[in-house]
A and B are shown apart, each in its own frame.
Chain A
């Protein structure tokens, strides 16, 4: 009844009526559909109960993921140049680009004579970091990278998550490029 009053003002040709598919009694009964559904779920349950080790899940942490690609943004590292000196020139580009303001740099005069500046201290607060990778893109010297492949960072206090320069320099690249690719 309400259906008719609602469309009374509208010309009949503009009302699109969609017929319900398979309006049979068996379909309206709903129980055969439930039985079909239970068949599917029970099949999954039965196969999985009979061989739990065949379930396609990763038993982390005993099993580690093997599908981390070289584009994966893991924990940061500071790279070295070909001669082993640090690539960072303390230009503050990464700290400027950082949307969460988690990079803290203090610059000083470079002592090894290869460049003008070097970071006196370089901290990344990974609790603030959103792992967006903007710092990597901003760096003109290819000094900061996120290709360590480290996805799990644990610690027992907050200070454990603030990475200092030595820690960042000690991280190794997980993929092919180990040293900075910038021309120095």
Chain B
């Protein structure tokens, strides 16, 4: 292995771990803030470190400290399978985390003629990896519910099992039509395919090529991640907290974090398979590299615009009402963050100027494009996570038999039909 390969492997691993783990507190905070803003409330916005609130995201870190310090309660009625009871949340968490590792954060980078994948697991069968590992997560839910020896937990586990029966087939079959359409099982090759156009002008995103399969995939992934409207396994109005009724402190937190990692993973899969992954529409990696000066110039225009919008928004919203006497350090926070943002923008601008006009080094340009794609990936990921959250606070929960009916009567035949149509078109048109 060359030095470049080792560096890229380390960077992608750290990036994958950060994107999967550091997004948990951000997502918990985002969920609470988006929910409250949808319901015309404010949500957690007070917790701060030295006056820096960052919109209240510090609250999530305080919550982690609280969960770590909580009493480790172990229900005494559980005699058998104690280790599996403790191990079950880890299964759910680890499965979601591992499934995320096959997602490419940027296009394959070529250093000294060596192609290096920008995903923590450099495999070219990412779709199979995701299907195999992602499906293990529900085992943790079933084990945890079953071994709790509690009727609510058992009912939750049974419901989780019924959910698997409902969504797993449509999920797999909708992915089959994507595999036929893209002619690959490699996530990165899927994104490369989607950076093209079809019918002249439309970006070749999965949502335009395979609209039906896209909808089935999104619905099935909502079910797989146990998110609303498919939270039947933890219906708190009927079965308390479902499978995690008996789990407390960090065991509960593992389930809780696993849910958010799973949501993050599902978002990543959705944007990679049907929303063009790390690429902007109409723009492929090759195009950026060939027209690097145009790319740099447009980015140099875009970055100040985005930063200005952010600063203006912050100046308007990061302050207390006129009726409130204490400012609680918000003006100071706004001032510091404004300086940080402007200096970051200047830093990015100077790097772009250097790369585009002064030292036109191909390798450096390559790395810059990779960084840009990672930023695009993260932005898309967060946008789809917000979509997940908005759906949660919009749609009421399905009953579990309704989920089964939806899966077997509607999604499964539609997915099969879609495979036939796709296959006929692909074979008939000889694509």
Chain A residues proximal to chain B, CB less than 8 Å:
31, 34, 37-38, 40-42, 44-45, 48-53, 55-57, 59, 62-63
Contacts and interface: CB of A to CB of B under 8 A. Distances in A.
Interface in B286-328: 313, 316-317, 319-321, 323-326
Chain B binding surface SS class: loop
A27 to B, nearest CB: 14
A37 B394 CA distance: 6
Given A63-B321, A63-B323, A38 B40 contact: no
B214 to A, nearest CB: 12
Contacts of A55: 37, 40-42
A34 B395 contact: yes
Contact of A44 (B37, B317, B324): B37
B38 interface: yes
Interface residues of B, number: 23
Interface in B28-45: 34, 37-42
Interface in B231-254: none
Contacts of B316: 51
Nearest to B45: A52
A58 B291 CA distance: 53
14 contacts: A34-B394, A37-B394, A38-B391, A41-B38, A41-B393, A44-B37, A44-B38, A44-B39, A45-B38, A49-B37, A55-B41, A55-B42, A62-B325, A62-B326
A83 B57 CA distance: 58
Nearest to B322: A53
Contact of B324 (A34, A37, A49, A63): A63
Contact of B394 (A38, A52, A57): A38
Contacts of B40: 44, 48, 55-57
Contacts of A57: 40-42
B324 A52 contact: no
With most chain B CB atoms within 10 A of its CB, the pick from A37, A44, A45, A59 is: A45
A50 B40 CA distance: 12
B395 A62 contact: no
Contacts of A42: 390
